Structure 1
């Protein structure tokens, strides 16, 4: 199986594109994960490339029902009383292995799959059109069932907008639009609209200890650097998973003169868009 999968991403747009050839999927609120089904095991890879099988063992075990040689791309989510619970996802992702097992018993995870990158008999299918990959995905997952299921998809704009307006109460955070003729490739090749106005920011440093950062230094869209607000415990733990392996770098200063420890860790955080113009950035999640 592949050692590392570079994933396709979506860029935020102010309105949903429409017209012939566009397909739409609900945007689930969870953790991006690639499932690689090998000859004897199922491995889960986060967007960063980190292997996260141990904390999502319920999904890995379910993944053993997927035919060997398959690579899937999707989102791990947790349903709690009929609504997506991103806090529960964060808590599981940041937990120890014994704690993850206990949390899985309390709130099992689901895997919402939107693409197939490698087919068990056809091999690499990334260059095939989205519509063809979509059908291959449905065929492969037809006999699998929960907790691994394909996301809904439609080529009808009005249906997509109905999803956007009616599914927010269930935790669906927006809609992703994809060209039916498009191949799968790394980078921001899709488009998305979200209910909350957020932006992805690269992390360049932190304050406090790498194992328990108090705040993160991020690069804002205008190129300047700023510190985030104090991180809640789940966000701090999620960031530490990237910061600790990278090790500390030299000290740096933000645009406003705040000192931070720089890092070579390559990851993004999601921040409320309105806060990025100011000295303090409000982070909503670690990507």
Structure 2
């Protein structure tokens, strides 16, 4: 299997697809993470391809119980009581290794698994249909238990809609729909509805110093460049790691004259879709 692993994504839709062959899963609010269990270690990869094992050592330790050759796709999440805490996830992802170890003790992570990409005996299973991969995932995780757990899944759209309406208070973002017959492949092969819809935007620059950016300048899907609202401390720390690694940028300006420093490299962030209409964007996470 190639590394980094290119992940499947979901296309935003207004309503869930219906009909025979569709399956539905609740969308957990966390950080997309692929677990790779090789011969000697377990490593964790972010959606971008970065290795993020040091931020999630509690999950890496738990993943050592998997058989070598297992690769799972899912979401790193943190529960506070009966609710998902995305702020705690952001803090963990941006923490130093020492701080991440401390946070793992006080706010341990869980892993919401939704797909099996490689099986210890069958090898790469991405070409197999979703329903078959789902059963293999259950077989792999069933002996282990928390913190590695499969997400719920149903082929009943009414159950999925009940999840959508009833689980929002627990931090469930929405519902992802998948064809039961579909293989796993990179790109937007699934569909999703969310309570707060977001879009991906390319980072083209930043304001403030690279080590502590105040805001990001993003290129929106329609081509406009816009300065984001002020970043939270956790988001600023995550963005800074990318910006400093990419090297120095050059002075530049947006179409309306706002100054910023250009950002080399390919950093992608998620922004609230409802904030982009007048080119005022709110960054919700770094990809």
User: What TM-score does the superposition give when structure 1 sets the normalisation length?
Assistant: 0.97
1:222 match: secondary structure: coil
Shift of 1:218: 0.6
Q: Which residue of 1 aligns with 2:81?
A: 81
In structure 2, distance between residues paired with 1:38 and 1:30:
24
1:1-80 correspondence to structure 2 within 5 Å? 2-80=2-80
Q: Which residue of 1 aligns with 2:204?
A: 204
In structure 2, distance between residues paired with 1:162 and 1:261:
46
User: What TM-score does the superposition give when structure 2 sets the normalisation length?
Assistant: 0.97
Would the aligned equivalents of 1:226 and 1:256 in 2 still touch at CA under 8 Å?
Answer: no
In structure 2, distance between residues paired with 1:250 and 1:182:
45
Q: Which residue of 1 aligns with 2:149?
A: 149
Q: Which residue of 1 aligns with 2:225?
A: 225
1:239 match: secondary structure: helix
In structure 1, distance between residues paired with 2:100 and 2:276:
33
Shift of 1:9: 0.6
For structure 1, which segment, 85-94 or 262-271, has the greater mean C-alpha deviation from structure 2 after superposition? 262-271
Would the aligned equivalents of 2:224 and 2:279 in 1 still touch at CA under 8 Å?
Answer: no
Shift of 1:2: 4.5
The one-character-per-residue Cα deviations of 1:210-229 (angstroms, maximum 9, x if unpaired) are 22111101112221101001
Would the aligned equivalents of 1:202 and 1:266 in 2 still touch at CA under 8 Å?
Answer: yes
The one-character-per-residue Cα deviations of 1:113-167 (angstroms, maximum 9, x if unpaired) are 0001111011111111111111111111110110001111111100000000000
In structure 2, distance between residues paired with 1:168 and 1:274:
19
The one-character-per-residue Cα deviations of 1:23-59 (angstroms, maximum 9, x if unpaired) are 1000000000110001111000111111111111000
Q: Which residue of 1 aligns with 2:192?
A: 192
Runs of 5+ consecutive residues of structure 1 not aligned to the other structure? none
Residue 237 to residue 216, structure 1, CA distance change in 2 (3 Å): same
The one-character-per-residue Cα deviations of 1:187-244 (angstroms, maximum 9, x if unpaired) are 1111110001322212111112222111101112221101001111111011112222
In structure 2, distance between residues paired with 1:13 and 1:267:
25
Runs of 5+ consecutive residues of structure 2 not aligned to the other structure? none
2:5 match: secondary structure: coil
Q: Which residue of 2 aligns with 1:236?
A: 236
Q: Which residue of 1 aligns with 2:138?
A: 138
Shift of 1:283: 1.5
Equivalent pairs counted in the alignment come to 287
* 2:253 is equivalent to residue 253 of structure 1: yes
Q: Which residue of 1 aligns with 2:94?
A: 94
In structure 2, distance between residues paired with 1:83 and 1:27:
13
Q: Which residue of 1 aligns with 2:285?
A: 285
Aligned-residue Cα RMSD (Å) equals 1.2
In structure 1, distance between residues paired with 2:280 and 2:110:
35
